[in-house]
Amino acid sequence: MLPRELFRKDPERIRRMLRSRHTEAPLDRLLEVDRQWRDLLTTLEELKARRNAGSKEIGLLFKDGKRDEAEARKASMSRLGDEIKDLEERTSGLEQEVETLELTIPNLLDAEVPEGANEDDNREIRRWGDPPSFDFSCQAHWDLGPALGILDFEQAAKLAGARFAVLRGPGAALERALISFMLDIHTREHGYTEVLTPYLVNSTSLQGTGQLPKFADDLFHIDGHDLYLIPTAEVPVTNLHRDESLDESAIPLRYCAFTPCFRAEAGSHGRDVRGLIRQHQFHKVELVQLTTPWTASDALEQLTGHAEVILQRLDLPYRVMTLCSGDVGFSAAKTYDIEVWLPGQDRYREISSCSNFSDFQARRAHLRYRPAEGGKARLLHTVNGSGLAVGRTLVAVLENYQQQDGSVVVPEVLRPYMGGMELIEPI
RNA sequence: GGAGAGGUGCCGGAGUGGUCGAACGGGGCGGUCUCGAAAACCGCUGACCUUUCACGAGGUCCAAGGGUUCGAAUCCCUUCCUCUCCGCCA
């Protein structure tokens, strides 16, 4: 959510942002409804001021024992009450429309975001590691995994349908090893506090981080309850401090969380239909930082680096992309995507998305801090990113560590987490 | 799921229809005193919205949403949440 004074005083700035994002939003409607709302509100508040004064007088008259005079005043006050009630209904209707509309305006973009229409215009800023060269024809994970007996899509389809997977034996252990490995690095070396949150959240939480009201179709909703399966741990973790004012001395807060994530993938029919890349349910270790306005930008660089460390320790080649204006998500001001090399697909694929949301989520979720030097509470800034998407990391390990005979070498850093296992061979 | 008790400001906790945005205590901030500190004493100390160039003015908020009333933290209804006991369950 953007500050109201911005669209009132500088709507052109928002129009430029929308053009740059190659998107549209009901800004004109918002401006019009906001104008109407404020006009009515002014009138309404005048009436209420009169009622307050009048009621006070009636109270005093009763106190002085002037019953008749008081009763006489009641009649006109009653009419005023009806008038207020009517005007109140219209005013709150307009106010609600303003609130609904402003929730559909995306965040302003950081000045460093390159111009561009879509993902083809994203800019590569660095690369790490060299893609492995195989002297045999390498396989995609959706062939490797089932052949090893550690990955089964058919059984998953029987249980739940398309876009689910069953991991078995060393496959399940590898997933679990990755989760523990990532959490250990982030908590022990990068200073994050691990939290384990609910996997179901209410609509207020989803509005706080920006998934609602605009992206309801991407979510799984629990019938008969105000509860949704989380699409990312970003939602519960960022909302931990919703409606709070933290002490500046506690800032920055760094949280990491392992959760399953659930996505309806409503708009992605036909995309990534094979394999583990795009699932309705997947595991992710998420990094979240709550910072002051001045440190958010550094925090994004730092947090992206924290995610990169995981890939470096696993010796998986990757590159970092700055998303262009047309590809930055609704709530984000700036985003780095980390893309890991997948030999089976002969290309880099997103494995982490790290964003600075400036005060956009904080304004929605009322995340504030009290400055150490005193004064009014200020909005926090939020920064988060995957550290990493676990399923896709498992894919990257399988494909990058495969051998000619179809076995997969276990990366050294994961062996302690897998009872010393060095090689995954067909079951 | 059943029975009961509750949800008030940064915290504790009063307040059952009229100067209540809310007593009192604690905390925090400032001051007096002191070489300094403690203690004591004094003062200040919520958020949001509209309006105004500004000073200021007005409105809203006592879990949330409705209702009664000239007037609601206080009365009524609904929902949510917390706690205790029972049941059930991992």
The tens digit of pLDDT for each residue in A263-272 reads 998 877 888 8
3-state class of A261 per DSSP? strand
Does pLDDT of A60 surpass 90? Answer: no
Protein A26 CA to nucleic acid B39 C1', in Å? 63
Q: Beta strand A381-389 with A281-291: parallel, antiparallel or unpaired? A: antiparallel
Does pLDDT of A126 surpass 80? Answer: yes
The confidence band for A188, taking pLDDT boundaries of 50, 70 and 90, is very high
Among the listed residues A254, A363, A368, A392, the single catalytic one is: A392
- How large is the ipTM? 0.87
Give the pLDDT score at A351.
98
Give the pLDDT score at A372.
77
Known catalytic residue at A278 = yes
What does the alpha-carbon distance between residue A315 and residue A397 come to, in Å, rounded to a whole number?
Answer: 9
The CATH architecture that domain A4-102 belongs to is: Orthogonal Bundle (1.10)
Protein A5 CA to nucleic acid B74 C1', in Å? 38
Protein A65 CA to nucleic acid B76 C1', in Å? 29
Give the pLDDT score at A247.
82
Give the pLDDT score at A290.
94
The confidence band for A359, taking pLDDT boundaries of 50, 70 and 90, is very high
Nearest nt to the A38 alpha carbon by C1': B50
Nearest nt to the A245 alpha carbon by C1': B10
The confidence band for A155, taking pLDDT boundaries of 50, 70 and 90, is very high
The CATH architecture that domain A119-424 belongs to is: 2-Layer Sandwich (3.30)
Known catalytic residue at A73 = no
What does the alpha-carbon distance between residue A256 and residue A286 come to, in Å, rounded to a whole number?
Answer: 5
Of the candidates A110, A3, A124, A126, the residue with the CA atom closest to the CA atom of residue A325: A110
The confidence band for A360, taking pLDDT boundaries of 50, 70 and 90, is very high
The answer to which of A113-122, A189-198, A220-229, A335-344 has the lowest mean pLDDT is: A220-229
What does the alpha-carbon distance between residue A264 and residue A221 come to, in Å, rounded to a whole number?
Answer: 10
Q: What is the mean pLDDT of chain A?
A: 93
Protein A159 CA to nucleic acid B5 C1', in Å? 45
Chain B nucleotides with an atom closer than 7 Å to a protein C-beta: 10, 18-19, 29, 47-51, 58-60, 66, 69-71
Known catalytic residue at A353 = yes
For A323-342, the pLDDT digits (tens) are: 999 999 999 999 999 999 99
* Protein contacts of strand B with Cβ less than 7 Å away: A 4, 38, 41-42, 45-46, 48-49, 51-56, 58-60, 62, 74, 77-78, 80-81, 92, 245, 374, 376-377
Give the pLDDT score at A246.
85
Give the pLDDT score at A72.
84
Nearest nt to the A63 alpha carbon by C1': B18
Protein A81 CA to nucleic acid B23 C1', in Å? 31
Does pLDDT of A291 surpass 90? Answer: yes
For A372-411, the pLDDT digits (tens) are: 777 778 899 999 999 999 999 999 999 999 999 999 999 9
Give the pLDDT score at A295.
93
The amino acid at residue A191 is: G
Give the pLDDT score at A310.
98
What does the alpha-carbon distance between residue A327 and residue A317 come to, in Å, rounded to a whole number?
Answer: 23
Q: Which two tokens stand for residue A11?
A: 């709507």
Of A61 and A168, the structure prediction assigns the larger pLDDT to: A168
Give the pLDDT score at A373.
74
Give the pLDDT score at A64.
78
Among the listed residues A21, A163, A254, A263, the single catalytic one is: A263
> Matching CATH topology for A4-102 and A119-424?
no
Known catalytic residue at A248 = no
Give the pLDDT score at A270.
80
Other CB atoms within a 10 A radius of the CB of residue A28 amount to 10
Give the pLDDT score at A244.
84
Per-domain residue ranges of chain A: 4-102, 119-424
Among the listed residues A38, A278, A313, A378, the single catalytic one is: A278
Known catalytic residue at A339 = no
Nearest nt to the A81 alpha carbon by C1': B70
In terms of average pLDDT, the best of A118-122, A226-230, A291-295 is A118-122
For A78-97, the pLDDT digits (tens) are: 888 888 988 988 998 999 99
Question: Average pLDDT, stretch A256-269?
Answer: 90
Give the pLDDT score at A73.
85
DSSP code string of A345-413: TTEEEEEEEEEE-TTHHHHHHTEEEE-TT-SS-EE-EEEEEEEEEHHHHHHHHHHHSB-TTS-EEPPGG
